Amino acid sequence: MVQTLAPFLVPSFEGELTSILSGIGVPSTGTVAAQVDIAASAACVELSTAAIDFGNLSLGAEDAPASPIITIANCSGVDETLYAAGTDADGTSSHWSLVDSSATCADTLGLDSYRLSLASPSLVTPLSLSTSNKTVQSLAPAQAVDHTARIFTACPGSTGAGRVMTMFINYLVTGE
């Protein structure tokens, strides 16, 4: 019966079924809770200096120390592993590649290559640096060690004569 009467009744009520809404819509909002768990002590390193100087050296200089000594201190409350890497050396119209070897100008160091190492009373032998991080040593909380950077300059005939060559030693620590 509803189906029979529906075509006659719907036109009578259609006007009553339409509603007009007005007002301000409120966007849907939400909150995300976030947290971070901080370790009791994170890895931390302090360096005693931001720059060292090898002075005025000639091409072919061997095992020359820089000044001042670099003191590296573990400023965290956890044991750390200390890493170090060097960079290639650059100067005006000059570039030297850092090599990780025992080569000297007397044998296979070659042109536009140089060596950089770290010497320390805490190291058995000087650590030859490369452009990749190398493990230097472990450091206990609050432990400090002294390092002397040492350089073997590029061989005679290389670029760089009469120039200032710059390079970097990058230190990194990780908690053990």
pLDDT in tens, 28-79: 777 788 888 766 677 899 999 999 999 999 999 999 999 999 999 999 989 9
In percent, the amount of the chain with pLDDT more than 70 equals 82
For residue 31, is it within any domain?
Answer: no
Residue 91, classed as helix, strand or coil, is strand
What's the number of domains the chain is made of?
1
**Mean pLDDT across 132-155:** 97
For residue 77, is it within any domain?
Answer: yes
Q: Which domain holds residue 67?
A: 45-175
With 0-12 CB in 10 A as exposed, 13-18 as middle and 19+ as buried, what is 173? buried
For residue 19, is it within any domain?
Answer: no
Provide the pLDDT for residue 13. 56
Sequence-distant (≥ 6) Cβ neighbours of residue 52 within 8 angstroms: 66, 67, 68, 70, 149, 169
For residue 12, is it within any domain?
Answer: no
CATH of the domain at 60: 2.60.40
For residue 20, is it within any domain?
Answer: no
For residue 25, is it within any domain?
Answer: no
For residue 4, is it within any domain?
Answer: no
Q: What's the half-sphere exposure (Cβ side, CA atoms, 13 Å) at 146? A: 6
What DSSP element (H or E) covers 116?
A: strand 113-119
For residue 62, is it within any domain?
Answer: yes
Interatomic CA distance for residues 110 and 120, integer angstroms: 27
